[in-house]
């Protein structure tokens, strides 16, 4: 959500926002302990609370697609937990249909394709995750492309959600749980062993165990890395300490993402800037990251070919331009 949209909708609905979402925005965050994570989650829930009408959801999706397009993205995958909105929008089925309808309209308005990942919440009962997995399975081919697992990975062991992921796996959905962020490399292994992950949200703490890194590389499991998020939540002390290059040089597929731009204050382009300036990624390496974000996505043809061609065209144009500037 755009910050200005949050403030506007909160004002219209008489919702008082904390200072962290107004004059002190973007907020100072921490996820390294339960108190810090609770504060982060409370701010997240406060932001969600301003969505009260179907038009709010449609606006959110359209503005998000507009902002992604402005940042150079042509395909967006969003994780949605329908149960978090069910009470306001008629239940989980009505909510997912609203999101899918809004996504279709946003794509028509912006040209940015959108795939929806239905995400269960680790802090809720595993039976709810099974319900959401069945819901996701019903919408395969109609905009839902994956199934995820979010919230504090220090709570809700992966094996408790294995049955939900088997439902999603049988339906052919992309399996995309969070892991290796708040908890260490064992949580990454659990995502692989128990949840059969195709991608892992974050995964950066895999570097604490070389065997886990080798496994990610060997199995071609993509890690969705957001340097700004890692720094904001205290996972890394600075952008330079995010193990982006270590993962990439070890052969782990890496796709950069913006995580939660509203709370972190940055979007996609900022992650590529960190890769260039904090980690020394060259144009060719940045193009490699961009390609991986396409190849590890559920983007359909011809979107995939179009996006890959755009990356190649950028690199072909950028290299001569840099050589010209360098020789001047």
Catalytic residues: 181
Place of tokens 């708040």: 182
Render 35-57 in DSSP notation, one character per residue: HHHHHHHHHHHHHHTT--SHHHH
3-state secondary structure 16-34: CCCHHHCCCCCCCCCCCCH
Nearest to 168 by CA among 132, 219, 121, 127: 132
Length of the chain: 328
Query: Contact 158/190 with Cβ under 8 angstroms?
Result: yes
Listed in order, strand segments (DSSP E) in 85-136 are 113-121
SS3 200: strand
3-state secondary structure 231-294: HHCCCCCCHHHCCHHHHHHCCCCEEECCCCHHHHCCCHHHHHHHHHHHHCCCHHHHHHHHHHHH
């Amino acid at each position: 959500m755009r910050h200005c949209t949050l403030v506007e909708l909160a004002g219209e609905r008489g919702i008082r926002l904390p200072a962290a979402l107004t004059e002190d925005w973007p907020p100072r965050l921490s996820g390294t302990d339960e108190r810090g994570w609770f504060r982060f989650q409370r701010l997240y829930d406060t932001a969600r609370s301003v969505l009260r009408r179907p038009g709010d959801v449609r606006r959110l999706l359209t503005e998000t697609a507009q902002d992604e397009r402005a940042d150079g993205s042509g395909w967006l995958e969003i994780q949605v937990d329908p149960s978090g909105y069910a009470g306001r929008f008629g239940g989980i089925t009505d909510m997912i249909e609203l999101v899918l309808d809004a996504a279709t309209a946003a794509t028509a308005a912006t040209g940015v394709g959108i795939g929806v990942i239905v995400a269960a919440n680790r802090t809720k009962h595993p039976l709810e995750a099974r319900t959401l997995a069945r819901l996701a399975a019903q919408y395969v081919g109609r905009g839902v492309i994956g199934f995820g697992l979010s919230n504090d990975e220090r709570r809700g062991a992966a094996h408790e959600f294995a049955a939900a992921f088997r439902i999603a796996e049988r339906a052919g959905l992309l399996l995309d749980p969070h892991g290796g962020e708040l908890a260490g490399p064992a949580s990454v292994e659990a995502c692989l062993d128990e949840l059969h992950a195709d991608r892992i949200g974050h995964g950066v703490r895999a570097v604490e165990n070389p065997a886990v890194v080798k496994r990610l590389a060997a199995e071609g499991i993509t890690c969705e890395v957001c340097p700004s998020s890692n720094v904001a939540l205290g996972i890394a002390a600075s952008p330079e300490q995010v193990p982006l290059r270590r993962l990439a040089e070890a052969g782990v597929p890496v796709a950069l993402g913006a995580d939660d731009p509203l709370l972190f204050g940055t979007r996609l382009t900022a992650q590529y800037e960190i890769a260039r300036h904090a980690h020394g990624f060259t144009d060719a390496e940045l193009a490699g990251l961009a390609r991986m974000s396409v190849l590890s996505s559920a983007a359909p043809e011809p979107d995939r070919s179009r996006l890959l061609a755009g990356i190649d065209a950028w690199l072909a144009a950028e290299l001569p331009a840099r050589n010209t500037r360098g020789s001047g």
